[in-house]
């Protein structure tokens, strides 16, 4: 009988959460690096150059959501609780709401994060870990 380590996610869940974190950090990097405002006098401006550092808050929200989901899933797994918990679904709902509210601006860029998190949640929800101690 194969026992699972309760402290670790399976490979697929870790992959989906990692992709979500990577994509959300890519959004922050794009805010600094990608020129999105063109000017007639010279090179275009980035989102941060045009709007200031205040736009970092909306860009960091998806990453914070991914971190909260990952920590909540790990905590439940570590404490041998079944299911994914209410906090995980609330954070996913807020990410989905952010996608809908920002549909004409940043929403399409955040939607992959929401999809990756949803796949990780459903993957973890479908896991039925053995609650026996891991043999070392």
Q: What is the pLDDT, as a whole number, of residue 136?
A: 54
Over residues 118-132, mean pLDDT: 75
* Residue 111: pLDDT band with limits 50, 70, 90: very high
Is the pLDDT at 104 greater than 80, yes or no? yes
Residue 100 falls within a domain, yes or no? yes
**Count of structural domains, the chain:** 1
Backbone angles phi, psi at 135, to 5 degrees: -75, 130
pLDDT tens per residue across span 29-77: 999 998 887 767 777 888 898 889 999 998 999 999 999 999 999 998 8
Residue 78 falls within a domain, yes or no? yes
* Residue 1: pLDDT band with limits 50, 70, 90: very low
**Mean pLDDT score across all residues of the chain:** 86
Domain span at residue 116? Answer: 11-126
Residue 5 falls within a domain, yes or no? no
Residue 25 falls within a domain, yes or no? yes
Is the pLDDT at 100 greater than 90, yes or no? yes
Cβ of 60: how many Cβ atoms within 10 Å?
15
How large is the greatest C-alpha to C-alpha distance in the chain, in angstroms? Answer: 69
Residue 95 falls within a domain, yes or no? yes
Residue 1 falls within a domain, yes or no? no
Q: What is the pLDDT, as a whole number, of residue 17?
A: 95
Give the C-alpha separation, 19 to 28, whole Å: 14
Joined tokens for residue 132: 């026996």
Give the C-alpha separation, 65 to 125, whole Å: 18
Residue 136 falls within a domain, yes or no? no
Give the C-alpha separation, 101 to 48, whole Å: 21
More confident residue, 134 or 79: 79
């Amino acid at each position: 009988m194969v026992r699972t380590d309760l402290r670790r996610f399976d490979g697929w869940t870790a992959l989906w959460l990692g992709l979500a974190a990577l994509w959300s950090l890519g959004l922050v990097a794009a805010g600094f690096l990608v020129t999105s405002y063109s000017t007639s006098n010279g090179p275009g401006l980035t989102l941060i150059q045009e709007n200031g550092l205040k736009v970092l808050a909306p860009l960091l929200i998806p990453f914070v959501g991914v971190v909260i989901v990952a920590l909540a899933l790990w905590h439940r797994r570590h404490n041998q609780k079944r299911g994914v918990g209410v906090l995980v679904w609330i954070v996913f709902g807020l990410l989905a709401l952010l996608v809908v509210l920002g549909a004409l601006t940043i929403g399409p860029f955040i939607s992959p994060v929401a999809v990756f998190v949803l796949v990780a949640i459903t993957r973890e929800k479908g896991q039925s870990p053995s609650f026996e101690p891991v043999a070392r």
